[in-house]
Chains A and B, each alone.
Chain A
């Protein structure tokens, strides 16, 4: 019977050309959507690698004041540590967790070059964000005695640069004359929130005389409220005449980051749904029409011994054959994505997206063909064969 259906569909390929194109296009669109969703969902399931609850970012801006900038910032760091509400303080650049800004650098080890997200942070960073190194330890200011700057890398960076080799104590460099000594390895560091891909990251020690990196992260005690925030801003502004002080709560910045990912996905999803609903309605119409046109054939098959069920299955089978042909054409395109590593996305994402799209297309065509096929099965053979 399957062979028969293939023959029937194949011989009618000209009549079906439009349907095939429609299913083919829907399949490609679905594949795009599914890839996007699966890519993001997989990222979401990867842990962030740090704790952001109760952490605030205090951004200091020196504006016109250019005297003793580094010393003034360090003073504020020490001052913040004196509050009973503050558990821990750390200083870093403007690329703090969930912030819009980011920085990346190329780093080399033994000829292996890799781009990574790059952070300049002080010794209290790991404690403030609850990061436990997987190997080695977080650096301390005291580590900066040699000519190499102490650094910590994450697991992804380790895989890229070192493979199986032990990274601890190894020296990294870049195209300039900077060198770093790896003292620790941490797990994930997804500072653009859950939907971010787990990427290589590297942290270097922030020196006390640094004038540029002026964001302070504080971890507050549970129950700390806006009253404290007001007091803190007032105190810091009093200390830093002419500077601007701005506080971000990481929980809020995280939500913003989520929206940045989710809103485009949602828009794409809505557009695709409209498209698919349209295709489905079109398909339903065409199938209904086809069945009306093929009454003759239905009556004939019934006369030759087809049961109602066989007629229904034939019509469903035909649309499955059609969907299969369309998707085989579609797969010729979509398999290029994992083969050519398009967008540098893991092959698993594309494969899963293909499977999901195939399943959804089969469901969709079945849904559209179900009612018309059942109608076809219910046509009385004597009526179908009636000739004037």
Chain B
């Protein structure tokens, strides 16, 4: 499902050059739930961004669903992100000026769909995360755990095969964190391939496989 070969990422700013990823080789099978751990600044987000086609590697090959994407242009990358990938972030990234339902509908705006379809799919996604009673609320009226559930609904509304979660429980207490994890586990049971960055050993243990990064290098 996800395949990385000899992936390297170098950030060049005026003065310094950071090697954020160094020779990463990764093969995630369909239906796998993989967690990534490592100290802060070791390149976890960078790796997830490259898998998520939000960033290009400086070297190496990225394959998503069997397609090599290095020649893909903006339009094709956007299309692939929309169809195949769902993102969940540590700080939720909800749009405060839109209701829960409108937030969840966002991915569907970038594919052809009617307003009625969008509404139905968004309601369905919110039901899956147990928030169908909060659809008309605005993000400011929700707790952190609820916000993250909205973000998960948004990530799954387009029925992507892959879910990428960057420290999804980082801003939540452990109870809420566990709730989020169990939602992800359910999604995984329903067939989604999940790659999750986490700082929590206990959570990582509940996934199929752990990848450890240190200073941009894969150590496990």
Contacts and interface: CB of A to CB of B under 8 A. Distances in A.
Interface in B49-101: 49, 52, 54-55, 74-75, 78-79, 81-83, 85, 87, 89-91, 93, 95, 97-98
B32 interface: no
B93 A385 contact: yes
Interface stretch (B21-29, B105-113, B125-133): B105-113
B142 to A, nearest CB: 16
Contact of B74 (A7, A300, A307): A307
Contacts of B45: 386-387
B163 to A, nearest CB: 12
Interface residues of B, number: 32
A305 B95 contact: no
Contact of A296 (B75, B93, B109, B158): B93
Nearest to A11: B97
A interface residue count range (under 10 / 10 to 19 / 20 to 34 / 35 or more): 20 to 34
A307 B75 contact: yes
Contacts of B95: 8, 297, 300
Nearest to A294: B95
Given A299-B93, A305-B82, A382 B55 contact: yes
Contacts of A387: 45, 89-91
A308 B79 CA distance: 12
Contact of B102 (A4, A309, A385): A4
B115 interface: yes
A254 to B, nearest CB: 60
B67 to A, nearest CB: 16
A83 B107 CA distance: 91
B149 interface: no
Interface string A1-24: 101100110011000000000000
A210 to B, nearest CB: 78
B69 to A, nearest CB: 14
B54 A4 contact: no
Contact of A302 (B46, B54, B111): B54
B89 A304 contact: no
B147 interface: no
A8 B102 CA distance: 9
A150 to B, nearest CB: 75
A385 B78 contact: no
A8 B105 CA distance: 13
Contacts of B89: 300, 385, 387
B97 A1 contact: no
Contact of A381 (B54, B75, B98, B106): B54
Contact of A303 (B54, B74, B105): B54
A308 B82 contact: no
A25 to B, nearest CB: 25
Nearest to B102: A7
Contacts of B109: 1, 4, 306
A291 to B, nearest CB: 14
**Which of A12, A297, A304 counts the most B-chain CB atoms under 10 A from its CB?**
A304
A12 B89 CA distance: 24
A8 B82 contact: no
A304 B94 CA distance: 12
Contacts of A310: 78, 110
A380 interface: yes
**Which of A1, A309, A380, A385 counts the most B-chain CB atoms under 10 A from its CB?**
A385
B110 A306 contact: yes
Nearest to B115: A3
A303 B109 CA distance: 13
Given A11-B98, A381-B54, A382-B55, A305 B91 contact: no
B107 A304 contact: yes
Nearest to B103: A300
B138 to A, nearest CB: 8
Given A8-B97, A304-B110, A381-B54, 15 more contacts: A1-B109, A4-B102, A4-B109, A7-B98, A7-B102, A8-B95, A12-B97, A300-B93, A303-B54, A306-B110, A307-B74, A310-B78, A385-B49, A385-B89, A387-B91
Interface of B: 45-46, 49, 52, 54-55, 74-75, 78-79, 81-83, 85, 87, 89-91, 93, 95, 97-98, 102, 105-107, 109-111, 115, 154, 158
Closest 8 CB pairs of A and B: A305-B82, A382-B55, A305-B110, A307-B78, A304-B107, A381-B54, A11-B97, A382-B49
17 contacts: A7-B102, A8-B97, A8-B98, A12-B97, A300-B95, A303-B54, A303-B87, A304-B81, A304-B110, A305-B107, A307-B75, A310-B78, A310-B110, A380-B54, A382-B54, A382-B55, A387-B89
